[in-house]
């Protein structure tokens, strides 16, 4: 009997040891976390073109990952830096500090670009923003070419990964946009972005004293130049496209030399807008992915058991959406080409690291509204707003008279904030809060304005507990927010960016701007489609749980429990 008991004990011990070994093997972290953020990818767009995608890009992720069908940003200002930083930190803008692409520094009375930092100049001379050719107005707000993540006030997931594993873990961010790369790489990673001035990927002195040899070698290949004297042409026959018969629409932006109908010529290498036009086409994403693939190889990402992190932020969908609208022939063709570019990236990762060892996260920094011209053609209300005219409106005259102000009361509007003339308010001995609230009340009654909330009311918590007000409050920073937060009516927005009229612009709390795809795919992640509402602040805490790190310091989201197999 004793022998039988001993034999049974050994048998059970062996089973337990085998089970523990199997669990340990299953608990090994992925070798690579690949976080893909498609700028302006509204949540419905991958499904709109699903049947025409190949097998290796969107369909691979949507069929093999955990797909959240109702994922949203929960802050009110859905701009690029705000969404990227929310994805990377799991925090609201009120905590991470990136409340907008730009904000007014009251102490210095200057407009601040979100990742600008004069202490850390770009390593490549002459690679900064060309004010005369840059179509991104927020970039033109920068006063120097220095860049760093210093303005991000909390840690990112990539920071926590590096803190957890030390120097053994590598973290990188790559994008056409500096803010798309820097926000994801965090404080402990390294970031590269595309210089339209030089046609090269660059970085700043915050990250390196000198470029790694492989970056110099990639830039020396001059891959952007290969697009010279070519055009962006349709991938397939026009008749196969949903918007094939809508190539020429008056509300689309005709960029110089690019036009608003296919084919769209890139022009010559020395053309004034050559590199800019590359980014307003699928070429921008193709170049970004080629650079990212080289980074994976040369930095040996995913080559050992210590997990590495790579963020690839793809910007072309955003630029194409702004210029032509998200429901345009250009946007449709861009989606089909983006699918191929994603497939190329995932195939390369599979070859170098193995997708079975790679955790992939796909989402977006924001969605997008339809162009008003398109909405109007469908019988729906939509229009453009000109906030620069607010101060001259007759409705504001009684407020000026009440406070004895005969001068300019509204200094400017930098989305989504109205900035009042504080100097004048002080000189008149007026109460800032009273002026704010009086102006906000008038603005709320303007056509096209849904809500105007004073910063004093937000700071003091004197706002209703409604969903719209909550999203505005999550965007509020006492030191960075303007005096009045303005929310336009649905499908009403600004289209004038320093003289450039665009078809569509995001930046609202309405669902077309907050709705984004969210997919996790990789080892241990079940293939499933989930219909419950989740928020983008949940992404970074989920990554922290999956990798065993502590959550980022400002994270308020909840780990997504469906990501573990039952």
The class of domain 383-490 in CATH terms is alpha beta
CATH class (in words) of the domain with range 34-66+76-377+509-563: alpha beta
Phi-psi region of 353 (alpha: psi -120 to 50; beta: other; left: phi over 0): alpha
Q: In what order do the strands lie in the sheet with 308-314?
A: 200-202, 190-195, 171-175, 308-314, 32-38, 358-363, 515-521, 66-72, 528-535
Q: Are 506 and 57 in contact (CB under 8 A)?
A: no
CA–CA distance, 216 with 213 (Å, rounded to integer): 5
> pTM of this prediction?
0.93
CB 96 within 8 A of CB 474: no
Count CB-CB contacts under 10 A for residue 241.
19
Which pLDDT score, from 0 to 100, does residue 216 have? Answer: 98
Q: Mark residue 421 as left, alpha or beta (left: phi above 0; alpha: psi -120 to 50; beta: remaining).
A: beta
Nearest to 371 by CA among 487, 243, 506, 276: 506
Same fold, 34-66+76-377+509-563 and 383-490: no
What pLDDT digit, counting tens, does each position of 543-563 carry? 999 999 999 999 999 999 999
Instruction: Please choose, from the candidates 262, 253, 264, the residue with its C-alpha nearest in 3D space to the C-alpha of residue 231.
Output: 264
CB 400 within 8 A of CB 406: yes
C-alpha 9/C-alpha 2 separation (Å) is 10
98 upstream amide cis, omega within 30 of 0:
no
Angle 439-107-207 (CA atoms, 0-180°, nearest 5)?
120
Provide φ and ψ at 240, rounded to 5°.
-85, -5
Measure the CA–CA gap between 275 and 273, rounded to whole angstroms: 6
The pLDDT score that the predictor gives to residue 245 is: 97
Q: Which of 325, 118, 327 is nearest to 242 (CA)?
A: 327
Residues of the chain with pLDDT under 50: 1-26, 498
> What are 214-243's pLDDT values in tens digits?
999 999 999 999 999 999 999 999 999 999
Exposure string over 459-469, b if 16+ CB within 10 A, otherwise e = eeeebeeeebb
- Tokens standing for residue 156: 């990112």
> CA 437 to CA 433: how far, in whole Å?
6
What does the block give as tokens for 186? 């965090």
In the structure encoding, which two tokens stand for residue 46, read together? 């991958």
Cα 508 to its chain centre, rounded Å, is: 14
What's the pLDDT at 566?
A: 61
For the chain, what are the domain ranges?
A: 34-66+76-377+509-563, 383-490
Q: Are 43 and 50 in contact (CB under 8 A)?
A: no
């Amino acid at each position: 009997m004793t022998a039988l008991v001993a034999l049974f004990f050994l048998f059970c011990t062996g089973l337990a040891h085998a089970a523990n070994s199997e669990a340990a093997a299953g608990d090994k972290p992925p070798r690579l976390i690949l976080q893909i953020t498609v700028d302006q990818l509204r949540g419905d767009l991958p499904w709109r073109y699903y049947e025409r995608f190949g097998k290796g890009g969107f369909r691979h992720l949507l069929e093999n990952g955990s797909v959240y069908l109702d994922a949203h940003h929960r802050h009110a200002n859905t701009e690029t830096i705000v969404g990227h930083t929310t994805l990377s930190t799991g925090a609201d803008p009120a905590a991470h500090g990136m409340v907008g692409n730009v904000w007014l520094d009251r102490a210095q009375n200057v407009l601040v670009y979100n990742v600008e930092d004069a202490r850390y100049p770009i390593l490549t001379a002459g690679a900064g923003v060309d004010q005369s050719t840059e179509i991104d107005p927020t970039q033109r707000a920068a006063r120097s070419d220095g860049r760093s993540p210093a303005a991000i006030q909390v840690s990112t997931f990539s920071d926590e990964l590096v803190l957890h594993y030390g120097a053994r873990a590598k973290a990188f961010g790559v994008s056409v946009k500096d803010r798309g790369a820097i926000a994801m790489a965090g404080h402990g990673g390294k970031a590269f972005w595309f210089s339209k001035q030089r046609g090269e990927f660059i970085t700043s002195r915050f990250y390196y004293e000198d470029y790694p040899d492989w970056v110099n070698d990639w830039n020396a290949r001059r891959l952007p130049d290969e697009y010279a004297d070519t055009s962006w042409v349709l991938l397939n026959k026009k008749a196969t496209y949903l918007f094939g018969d809508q190539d020429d629409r008056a509300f689309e932006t005709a960029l110089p030399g690019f036009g608003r109908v296919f084919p769209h010529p890139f022009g010559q290498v020395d053309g004034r807008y050559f590199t800019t036009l590359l980014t307003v086409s699928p070429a921008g994403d193709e170049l970004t992915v080629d650079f990212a693939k080289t980074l994976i190889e040369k930095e040996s990402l995913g080559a050992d058991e210590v997990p590495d992190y790579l963020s690839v932020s793809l910007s072309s969908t955003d630029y194409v959406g702004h210029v032509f609208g998200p429901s345009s022939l250009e946007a449709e063709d861009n989606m089909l080409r983006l699918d191929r570019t994603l497939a190329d990236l995932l195939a390369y990762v599979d070859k170098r690291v193995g997708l079975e060892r790679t955790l992939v996260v796909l989402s977006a920094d924001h969605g997008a509204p339809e162009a008003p011209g398109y909405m109007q053609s469908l019988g729906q209300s939509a229009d453009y707003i000109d906030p620069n005219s607010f101060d001259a409106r007759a409705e504001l005259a009684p407020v000026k008279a009440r406070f004895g102000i005969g001068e300019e009361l509204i200094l400017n509007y930098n989305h989504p904030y109205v900035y009042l003339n504080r100097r004048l308010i002080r000189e008149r001995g007026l109460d800032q809060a009273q002026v704010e609230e009086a102006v906000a009340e008038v603005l709320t009654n303007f056509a096209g304005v849904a809500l105007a909330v004073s910063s004093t009311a937000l700071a003091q918590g004197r706002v209703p507990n409604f969903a719209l007000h909550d999203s505005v409050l999550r965007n509020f920073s006492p030191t960075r927010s303007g005096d009045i937060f303005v929310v336009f009516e649905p499908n009403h927005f600004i289209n004038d960016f320093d003289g450039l009229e665009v078809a569509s612009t995001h930046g609202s709390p309405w669902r077309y701007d907050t709705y984004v795809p969210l997919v996790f795919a990789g080892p241990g992640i079940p293939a499933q489609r989930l219909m419950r509402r989740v928020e983008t602040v949940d992404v970074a805490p989920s990554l922290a749980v999956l990798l065993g790190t502590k959550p980022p310091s400002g994270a308020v989201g909840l780990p997504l429990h469906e990501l573990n197999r039952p």
